Chains A and B, each alone.
Chain A
């Protein structure tokens, strides 16, 4: 349940960075941000900042390196929220 909600929130963040020819529906749990969704790699830092704001967490450089797919991001978000609790 919680992960569905996180996916929805993440999707709302990611859709802003999609190129014109990629639809929001293309965002799946296993989508790779750069290779499949064609997101400019420079925008990954913006996605990280948006995630920090939306979830009230802080991501480090190594978290960002691990964040290749939507799934990777969801795992990192869940871990950070766990630590926060």
Chain B
């Protein structure tokens, strides 16, 4: 599971300055200067721990990517420095490029699906009465809360050949012929469909609820004004609402890209990257290289490249998050 901050300030920011927001803390007083050492001892415990558990591993990841660390090394501790060999090997490996292509296309499909449905549900929530709004919200939270290991296993059962309820349902619809024994994990296209449905199912609640929080802050006068000017409901949504939602929509989309690009559990538990390598996106490809083939040096190199490819988006997201924060 990924836990990522989306700060309240973003929502306020998205909807313009909120008049009801508490006043920002005034500029720090001179008094502050005399306590210069306090932040040091407050930060040092967490700082030390974070240095050990995050910075050291990241440094070690970079180091490992320049070695031939493999299964033998795990027992003997011996490895040698190979320079950029892992990287050049990777870049000439067709399997890597295929995996990258898959990841990009599948991420695009997942993000498009979840953001569009999320926008729809967010808007739906604004049109509902109290009771239905509450019901939809609870349904969203329950789907969101499901641990992804559990939901992946539920998915396997829903799509199980022979007795799965999805195959039974498709069979009853009839247009696909006898679908009772349809095997979803053993066919690339079907495996993608099943995984896509799972990811979208689980991503929509976060997107819908986040967008809805911003959508409820769109000033009603703007919408009224547009309606008085004769705009249809669709035009009101497109011109007024969407315009207000744009900043938060952008952030939610970036966050979805980062998450979906890194998806591992759901694919691993549903198709193991198969059949063959056909659903092996970068997460699965890295894992298989490092922990099935135990080419750990190579796995580290893939991980470095994967991270670098996403660096631009991550940097943009962090900058935005910091800027929308307080007086930095």
Chains A and B bind each other: no
